[in-house]
Amino acid sequence: MKTIFTSFEEAVSGVKDRMTLMVGGFGLVGIPENLIQGLRNTNVKDLTVISNNCGVDDWGLGILLQNKQLKKMISSYVGENKEFERQVLSGELEVQLVPQGSLAEKIRAGGAGIPAFYTPAGVGTPIAEGRETKVFNGKEYLLEEGLTADFSLIKAWKADKLGNLVYRKTAQNFNPIMAAAGKYTIAEVEEIVEVGELDPNEIHTPSIYVQGLIVGNHEKRIERLTVRD
């Protein structure tokens, strides 16, 4: 059975200054919102965070930005976060921008134990300047290294007590690959069920990749609401 935490501060108590974290989600979809708030309450700092983007100003990873806990972001875009933009332009935050598909593959490769791979994405752009490229079948490819992290904080729909996970709809995004790429993975879930209640054919992340579980209530904010008149 996996460790089932009873508080979010306890769940992230192993995260220390200057560690590298992967945080699941895309925008505000599928983010481990309560684990992020627990991390804010611990006041750890100088973190390197690998995530598709940095939430919004007052939610998701944006609250860690406001609390000056992040040293570096490895992500695919700045997104809707003005504080993220401000800190980048002022030099307070280091950012490594990676094409979105390459970021996903770097994480997947890291979780699969693949140290590096070649991709055509980024060739001929500033991203490739000063980096190794190679030609295959007459086409140039850029070398990208796999990514791993000290901790992965992810969001799933259901878990059993062994730590097998099921995601719901688009919340799959980066969560499954980050679960595999973290040395210690904590899954924030909506429900924990008994072993045997999950259909084996529907399990997305096997328990071997998960070290801790915690149940949370989720606000599930909408990043940008558009309605008809």
So where are the chain's domains? 3-115+147-215
Gyration radius of the chain's alpha carbons: 18
**Within the chain, how many helices (H) and strands (E) appear?**
6, 14
pLDDT tens-digit map of 131-185: 999 999 999 999 999 999 999 999 999 999 999 999 999 999 999 999 999 999 9
Q: Are 210 and 185 in contact (CB under 8 A)?
A: yes
pLDDT tens-digit map of 201-220: 999 999 999 999 999 988 87
Question: What's the whole-number mean pLDDT along residues 72-88?
Answer: 88
Say how far apart CA 223 and CA 220 lie, in whole Å. Answer: 9
pLDDT tens-digit map of 173-194: 999 999 999 999 999 999 999 9
Compute the mean pLDDT over every residue in the chain, rounded to the nearest whole number: 94
- Choose the CATH number for 3-115+147-215 among 3.40.50.970, 3.40.50.300, 3.50.50.60, 3.40.1080.10: 3.40.1080.10
Q: What is the largest CA-CA distance in the chain?
A: 56
Indicate if the pLDDT at residue 195 is higher than 90. Answer: yes
